Amino acid sequence: MRIPFGWLQNFVKLDISPQEACEQLIMLGFSDAEVIPNEWDCLDNFVVGRATKVESHPGDDHLKIVDVNLGYTTLKSVCGAPNVVTGGAYAVALPGAKLGSGQTVSRAEISGVVSECVLCSGWEAWLDDSRDSLLELDKDLVPGTRLIEALGLDEPVIEVEVTPNRGDCLGLVGIARELAAVFGKELIIPEPAPKYGSKRIEDLVDVEIHDEDACPRYGAMVLEKVSVRPSRATLRAQLRLAGLRAVNNVVDAANLVMFETGHPLHAFDLDKIEEAHVIVRRAAEGEKIVGIDGAQYSLGPEDLVIADPSKPIAIAGVIGGENSEVTSTTRRILIEGAFFKKSVIWRMSKRLAIDSEAAYRFARGVDIEAIPYVLAQAAELIQDETSCDVCRGRIDVYPGQRPPRYVTARPKRINRLLGTAIPDQEICDYLERLGFGVSPGRDLEVAVPTRRGDVESEVDIAEEVARLYGYDRIRAAEERACSAHGKVSSSLATQSRLRTLLAGMGLTEVVTDSMVSPEVLNLFGMLPSQAVDIRNPVGVGASVLRTGLVPGIVEVLVKNEHRGEESIAVFEIGKIYDRNNANFCEKYRVGLGLSGLNEPRIWCCNARQFDFFDLKGMVEALLRQFGLEAAFVPGGPEFLHLGRKALLRGIEGNELGFVGEILPDLCGRYGSRRRLYVAELEFEPFLESISVISKVSERPKYPGVKRDIAVIVSKTVLDSDVRRIILEEGGDLVESLETFDVYEGKPVPENHKSLAYAIVFRDRSRTLKEVEVDEIQKRIEKRINEELKGTLRKE
Amino acid sequence: MDLQSEAARIREAAAKAIKTCKSIDDVDAVRVKYIGRRGELTLLLRKLGEVSPGQRKEVGKMLNAIKDEISSLLAERRKEIETALKDETLRKETIDVTLPGRRVRIGKLHPTLRILNEIIDVFVGLGFTAVEGPEIETEYNNFDALNFPPWHPSRDDFDSFYVGDGYVLRTHTSPAQVRVMKSQEPPVRVVVPGRCYRRDTPDASHLMSFFQIEGLYVDHDVSLADLKGTLAIFAREIFGPETKIRFRPHYFPFTEPSAELDISCLVCGGAGCRLCKQSGWLEVLGCGMVHPNVFKHVGYDHKAVTGFAFGLGVERIAMLKYGISDIRTLYENDLKILNSL
């Protein structure tokens, strides 16, 4: 909302600067109030000039040579406009001036005559779109006066954000009321007094409302003998200050009244309304109307129209129809001042994508009781501008009249809510200044003005009181904030712990999109029927909620590879989603990704490529830190390398996640030239384990027996197969077991490998004898022999 | 030549020879030459018998003194050489200490989540319990229970993502207020962090998905002054002890009175600069007193309790703290940037 500061003072006399007014407006709830930078530097070289002589051009019938008196000198101008006359005052662009059309003015010869300045149209003078005729200025203006001054443009303009609940402040009077209230000043509201003619409106038009819920009140006035022309220059300048577009003197006057009162008005050409009969009704399915913007709109039963007996003539509160538009030939007009339901207007404006000034205001609520006033105001202004006749009386169909709203407000309660001690009298005073009626007592009966649809209950009254009292005067009570103890949920605590550990392992945390493209999920074979679709996505790029973290991690790995990152190690703790009919499920997962060198290339280390076991090692470390036991079993999702993937299984056989290398083909599709390693783990097991506390184990009292054994087995035998046998045979006596060597090549036979294990056997209750260990070792050997066709390698 | 002058000559010669010693061997040679078994001074001492008995004692004393002196000079020199040799061995092991150390790789936490956790920590310290809520929310929790009128713009398909009949991707963390209040009786003091979604066109300050943290405190006689106090502490903890706050009236459907919190500009401290658009203030969060209609929806007695709520965009705070001007920077997941923050 733009607030021309001088114009504002028509409604409240302020003795503060525009900057101070901004401060005050911000503290009243109008965010970002600021004085906008001077927009009128472009008019630096424009002045008022009087045409003292107008002659036709000898070489061109369409052109005229004009002597332009600028006070201090007279310049010649060659001009093609139809409306230049001797004695007329015009906007003159001097050499050096840049015109709204883009050209720069200079002395120029036009068909053999030197032109020293340019007489301007509204367009050339940066005012509006009117190009066909010269901007006519008030003849009383002193030639040479700067155009900015002559048009009254030289005033600061404040721009503020008005929150959607304050439709009443979408007019200058509303803003003035707020400032008047806060400073205790008088609000000046002009009394409109159009001069009525003898004709009575009842004899000329009638109005019926078919949907009283959507349109509880419809008022109208009729003006006759209107002559529709472009508005006076100063009126057009005012519209420009208001940020509105000039159309013609009728529409401009209506818009000016809207800008001041906040109430939109619409002018119809009465002679284009069939039978002069206005009907407010819902549109029929498929009914069409061409708006004054020239676009055709297809309507439906949810839309509200203003119609005559045969056709819609306007989309109610949103845009007028071309078929009833006020044009230069219009003689009789009907001005509509109506109240439409906020939600109806908002839906239409959104659905039809029409962002009109009227729709904006109706959607935020206007004052139903102000209709007679705004109509009279508009009639008076149009009469001033067009010298028309105003018909006596007013159409006012008001079936939706409701009793005024009263709210009970308890000063004590308000003070408790605000943490203040504002005296009752002061509370009453604040409310009265804002135009609320207050009947005092222990509880206040507050009459809410109809313009304040947002005030419904005591808390709303409290806000009004707080605004005028000043939010900055409310104490910051810190004592209560420190009076309790808080904690973090176990889910958040587990996430924190995981994040700290993963970062400590050298992984950087990333956050990837949870809304992803189905195509990407498909690439990974991760688009099950239970995936959660977004019904109204923005493009297909993000139309389904992710079902796994890997696609996002892969994208991060590849993007960073393409950015030239040599060594990439990342993790994400994020949610995945699915649905079972109407039951939605979302749960956290932990994703890890590695690619490139295992450490930065640096003088002292031999960097190598990350491999499967780097990632597996990290996963194992996480599991260890959380005291989780899991087995890695060959296998895993299809998007992983068939020989380099493992599933994690918990003790109960439940799947805890997977680790593996992305299929080379898939890497190729992403344009990666590396091997990419990813892991995705369930979050739940970590969450459950966080509360488990392991007890301290006693220092062993008896010596252990250390054995290194190496076995030669076929290449297809797994490390885990051997370990299983060792653990089964060793039972509780196995204190630790590490695979310390894997070897292929001579002297190991072809297609075989040697696996070497360091085992510590210990009995915690007695000294273990070497012979006992020999026994165990023999049993191990036997089973390896029988079950794995392997042999123990002798030193 | 008498014994004394001969001894004096030996002393001079030995001292000179000791000075020129370069190695332990040299030292040993000098020792042998002068005070060894057949050393010059040793031989001289043997001649002591030839001295007249009257002088013998005195001469003997002098010769022994010279012998002691040479011994100690030798010992001293030996020590010097030994030290030099040790140093030499060490010197050979010299390394370039200016070379970089072996890199210990430590990852970084994502800036948004790091700030989120800092904020959680502050509020936990102020007695708030941190819990989570689902991202896929019912329209009822996201809008109706929060007093959004049925026609409110943000319910629209243009503004919110819908995933099923009556289900949206939550547009704010506020529905968690409803969940918490429905599940427990007052007093309630929680913060709820999490991801939210809006159908915005991504630009320098908007994303379709972002993080928020919600705060809620409901009890007897909670006032706007308490809200202001809590947020004043929050602002000081997160932005520094000098931070000033400003409360401005604003509008949210689920709070009344409503306010926005500004903090004094982090760059200029309030004097006015580009970051704060010369205003001296930076907008940080929205807040207010829980609307009685919200209490009605969750079944609280709105006559008995009052409460405050606030919600803040985590990215905005992260951007202010890290000097990031484009919100999208945070989610490009560029390791160069993430590892530098």
DSSP state of A372: H
Every domain range in chain A assigned CATH 2.40.50.140: 41-151
Predicted pLDDT at A362:
96
Write out chain B residues lying below 8 Å of A496, CB-based. Answer: 117
Write out chain B residues lying below 8 Å of A488, CB-based. Answer: 120, 124, 129-130
Write out chain B residues lying below 8 Å of A504, CB-based. Answer: 106-107
**Best mutation target, A480, A567, A604, to test chain B (most B CBs within 10 A):** A480
Please check whether residue A32 is in contact with residue A160, taking contact to mean a CB–CB distance below 8 angstroms. yes
Predicted pLDDT at A146:
93
Every domain range in chain A assigned CATH 3.50.40.10: 196-397
Please check whether residue B66 is in contact with residue B41, taking contact to mean a CB–CB distance below 8 angstroms. yes
**Which of A619, A628, A621, A622 lies closest to A691 in space, CA to CA?**
A628
Please check whether residue A390 is in contact with residue A196, taking contact to mean a CB–CB distance below 8 angstroms. yes
- Identity of the amino acid at A593: G
Predicted pLDDT at A50:
93
Whether omega for the bond prior to residue B193 falls within 30 degrees of 0, making it cis, is no
Tokens 């005028």 — which residue?
A468
A164 with B153: Cβ contact below 8 A: yes
> Averaged over B257-261, what is the pLDDT?
95
Under the banding of pLDDT at 50, 70 and 90, the label for residue B1 is low
Please check whether residue A108 is in contact with residue A158, taking contact to mean a CB–CB distance below 8 angstroms. no
Predicted pLDDT at B78:
93
B123 token code pair:
């509020």
Secondary structure of A273-301 in HEC code, one letter for each residue: CHHHEEEEEECCCCCEEEECCCCEEECCC
**Which of A592, A434, A445, A441 lies closest to A512 in space, CA to CA?**
A592
Please check whether residue A657 is in contact with residue A650, taking contact to mean a CB–CB distance below 8 angstroms. no
In angstroms, what separates the C-alpha of A419 from chain B's closest C-alpha?
5
B42 token code pair:
């040793």
In angstroms, what separates the C-alpha of B87 from chain A's closest C-alpha?
26
How far apart are the C-alpha atoms of A284 and A303, rounded to whole Å?
8
Write out chain B residues lying below 8 Å of A536, CB-based. Answer: 157, 161-162, 199
Report the interhelical angle of B224-239 vs A411-418 (nearest 10°): 10
Q: What residues 43-62 of chain B have any CB closer than 8 A to a CB of chain A?
A: none
Predicted pLDDT at B124:
94
B249 with A27: Cβ contact below 8 A: yes
CATH top class, domain A2-39+156-183:
alpha beta
A765 touches chain B (CB under 8 A): no
Task: Nearest by CB to A459, from B156, B195, B291: name it.
Answer: B291
Task: Nearest by CB to B110, from A511, A582, A604: name it.
Answer: A511
In angstroms, what separates the C-alpha of B107 from chain A's closest C-alpha?
4
pLDDT tens digits along A519-575: 999 999 998 889 999 999 988 789 999 999 999 999 999 999 999 999 999 999 999
> Averaged over B215-242, what is the pLDDT?
94
A485 with B258: Cβ contact below 8 A: no
A607 token code pair:
């960097």
**Which of A276, A313, A281, A310 lies closest to A297 in space, CA to CA?**
A313
CB proximity list for A581: less than 8 A, separation 6 or greater:
none
A459 touches chain B (CB under 8 A): yes
Predicted pLDDT at A483:
67
**Best mutation target, B256, B279, B295, B314, to test chain A (most A CBs within 10 A):** B256
Chain B nearest-CA residue for A566: B335
- CA trace torsion A156, A157, A158, A161 (10° rounding): -170
A584 with B164: Cβ contact below 8 A: yes
Under the banding of pLDDT at 50, 70 and 90, the label for residue B27 is very high
B98 touches chain A (CB under 8 A): no
Chain A nearest-CA residue for B289: A417
Q: What residues 153-182 of chain B have any CB closer than 8 A to a CB of chain A?
A: 153, 156-158, 161-165, 167, 169
Percent of chain B predicted with pLDDT > 70: 100
Architecture of domain A705-793: 2-Layer Sandwich (3.30)
Write out chain A residues lying below 8 Å of B143, CB-based. Answer: none
ipTM of the complex: 0.84
- E-assigned strands of A744-795? 752-761, 791-793
Chain A nearest-CA residue for B308: A417
- Say how many CA atoms lie within 13 Å of A214 toward its Cβ: 24
pLDDT tens digits along A666-693: 999 999 999 999 999 999 999 988 766 7
Predicted pLDDT at A486:
85
pLDDT tens digits along B274-321: 888 888 899 999 999 999 999 999 999 999 999 999 999 999 999 988
How far apart are the C-alpha atoms of A378 and A333, rounded to whole Å?
12
A462 touches chain B (CB under 8 A): yes
Tokens 């990704």 — which residue?
A593
Every domain range in chain A assigned CATH 3.30.70.380: 705-793
Please check whether residue A776 is in contact with residue A730, taking contact to mean a CB–CB distance below 8 angstroms. yes
In angstroms, what separates the C-alpha of B176 from chain A's closest C-alpha?
14
Cα→Cα distances B42→B35, B37, B63, B266, Å: 5, 6, 9, 88
3-state class of A794 per DSSP?
coil
3-state class of A403 per DSSP?
coil
How far apart are the C-alpha atoms of A644 and A115, rounded to whole Å?
85
- Identity of the amino acid at A623: L
pLDDT tens digits along B42-83: 888 888 888 888 888 888 888 889 889 999 999 999 999 999
B113 touches chain A (CB under 8 A): yes
B259 touches chain A (CB under 8 A): yes
Size of interface A-B (CB pairs under 8 A): 264
**Best mutation target, A454, A501, A536, to test chain B (most B CBs within 10 A):** A536
A514 with B209: Cβ contact below 8 A: yes
Write out chain B residues lying below 8 Å of A162, CB-based. Answer: none
A721 token code pair:
């197969």
Angle at A35 between CA A33 and CA A37, to 5 degrees: 135
pLDDT tens digits along A727-741: 999 999 999 999 999
Write out chain A residues lying below 8 Å of B245, CB-based. Answer: 476
Hey, which residues does A678 pair with through a beta bridge?
A593, A660
pLDDT tens digits along B170-222: 999 999 999 999 999 999 999 999 999 999 888 888 999 999 999 999 999 99
A570 token code pair:
């990342």
Every domain range in chain A assigned CATH 3.30.56.10: 2-39+156-183, 405-472
How far apart are the C-alpha atoms of A436 and A462, rounded to whole Å?
13
Write out chain B residues lying below 8 Å of A503, CB-based. Answer: 106-109
Cα→Cα distances B272→A159, A654, B267, B276, B279, Å: 19, 60, 9, 6, 5
**Which of A409, A404, A406 lies closest to A461 in space, CA to CA?**
A409
B126 touches chain A (CB under 8 A): yes
In angstroms, what separates the C-alpha of B224 from chain A's closest C-alpha?
5
B292 touches chain A (CB under 8 A): yes
> Averaged over B16-27, what is the pLDDT?
91
B224 with A474: Cβ contact below 8 A: yes
pTM of the full predicted structure? 0.83
In angstroms, what separates the C-alpha of B289 from chain A's closest C-alpha?
8
- The DSSP H or E segment spanning A113 is strand A113-115
Hey, which residues does A79 pair with through a beta bridge?
A64
**CATH T-level topology, domain A196-397:** Phenylalanyl-tRNA Synthetase; Chain B, domain 3 (3.50.40)
DSSP state of A280: E
A512 token code pair:
């990837």
Please report, in angstroms and rounded to a whole number, the separation of the first and last CA atoms in chain B. 89
- Identity of the amino acid at A463: E
> What is the sign of the dihedral through the CA atoms of B148, B152, B156 and B161?
negative
Write out chain A residues lying below 8 Å of B259, CB-based. Answer: 471
Which residues in chain A come in under a pLDDT of 70? 482-483, 691-692, 794-795
Write out chain B residues lying below 8 Å of A507, CB-based. Answer: 107
A459 with B228: Cβ contact below 8 A: no
A775 token code pair:
């026994």
B246 with A472: Cβ contact below 8 A: yes
- Identity of the amino acid at A481: A
B207 touches chain A (CB under 8 A): no
Please check whether residue B201 is in contact with residue A519, taking contact to mean a CB–CB distance below 8 angstroms. no
CATH top class, domain A405-472:
alpha beta
B333 with A575: Cβ contact below 8 A: no
Chain B nearest-CA residue for A461: B257
Predicted pLDDT at A286:
93
Hey, which residues does A77 pair with through a beta bridge?
A66
B203 touches chain A (CB under 8 A): no
CATH top class, domain A490-689:
alpha beta
pLDDT tens digits along B122-138: 999 999 999 999 999 99
For the beta sheet containing A157-159, the strands, ordered from the edge strand earlier in sequence to the opposite edge, are A2-4, A157-159, A34-35
B136 with A577: Cβ contact below 8 A: yes
Every domain range in chain A assigned CATH 3.30.930.10: 490-689
- CA trace torsion B316, B317, B322, B328 (10° rounding): -20
Average of per-residue pLDDT values in chain B: 91
> Averaged over B133-153, what is the pLDDT?
89
Architecture of domain A41-151: Beta Barrel (2.40)
**Which of A388, A145, A354 lies closest to A250 in space, CA to CA?**
A388
Write out chain A residues lying below 8 Å of B110, CB-based. Answer: 509-511
